[in-house]
Structure 1
Amino acid sequence: MHAAEATKSARRPTNLSLDSALLNEAKALGINISRSAEAGIGEAVKLHKQEKWLKENAKALASSNAYVEANGLPLARHRQF
């Protein structure tokens, strides 16, 4: 699914248990609870996916880093800085 499609996806009611003091403060400040929760969950999903990717690719990253450490950067001689 593309990013544009994700923002158009249907919303569905969900029950959440939240700290009552925090909820009252957010409401008093005029914060949209649903949108804020959605943003927080979106960030948590993003971080989880990043961690998962790093774990799944740890061997390849270590191999690449070992190569660069032993041989230097490929095409380094062409760098102009």
Structure 2
Amino acid sequence: MGNLTARPLRKATNVTVPVDVYQRAKELGINFSRTCEQALREAIKAEEGRRWAEANADFIKNTNEWVEKNGLPLAEYRMF
């Protein structure tokens, strides 16, 4: 039977920040690991979205052109 509350694997790393940022964060009791993880997750999500949009740019362009020319599919059934 496995541990149902097992934490995901973690990787220790070094992060370099300006001294004033470090000191102020410490004063405020900000958790460095949690804050860095959250910021990295947001940056990853944004970059993945940017790459998806770039990889699908032709499809997006063609779909938008089709909608401009033909209108929204099923628009007659919209409730708003």
The interval holding the TM-score normalised by the smaller chain is 0.7 to 0.9
Letter in 1 for 2:10: R
TM-score between the two structures when normalised by the length of structure 1: 0.85
Unaligned runs of 5+ in 2: 1-6
Report matched runs for 1:19-58 at 5 Å: 19-58=18-57
Q: Distance in 1 between matches of 2:78 and 2:32?
A: 50
Query: Matched residues in 1 for 2:40 and 2:53: separation?
Result: 20
What is the TM-score with the length of structure 2 in the denominator? 0.86
Residue 70 of structure 1: aligned partner: 69
Q: By percentage of residues, which structure has more helix?
A: 1
Matched residues, number: 74
Q: For each residue in 1:1-53, what CA deviation from the matched residue of structure 2 results, as whole angstroms up to 9, or x when unmatched?
A: xxxxxxx4211210111111001100000000111011111111110001000
Percent same amino acid at aligned positions? 39
Deviation at 1:57, TM superposition (A): 0.6
Q: For residues 79 and 27 of structure 1, what CA distance do their matches in structure 2 show?
A: 53
Unaligned runs of 5+ in 1: 1-7
> Over aligned residue pairs, what C-alpha RMSD do you find?
1.0
